[in-house]
Amino acid sequence: MWAILKFKKENLSLLKKDLLNSLGNDVKFYLPKIKLQKKIKNKIQNKGSFLLGDYLLCFHKSFENKKIIDSLRYCKGLKYFLNNFKEEQEEIKNFVEKCKSNEDNEGFIKQCFFEFKESGIFQFLSGPFMNIGFKIIGRQNSNFKILIGKFTATVSKENYLFRPVY
| The pLDDT value given to residue 121 | 82
Neighbours of 82 (CB within 10 A): 12
Q: Tell me the fold of 2-109.
A: Alpha-Beta Plaits (3.30.70)
Split at pLDDT 50, 70, 90, the class of 129 is confident
- Model's pTM, two decimal places? 0.71
- Would strands 121-124 and 133-140 be described as parallel, antiparallel, or unpaired? antiparallel
CATH 2.30.30 for domain 114-164, yes or no, is yes
Specify the higher pLDDT residue, 7 or 127.
7
DSSP state of 116: -
Structural domain spans, the chain: 2-109, 114-164
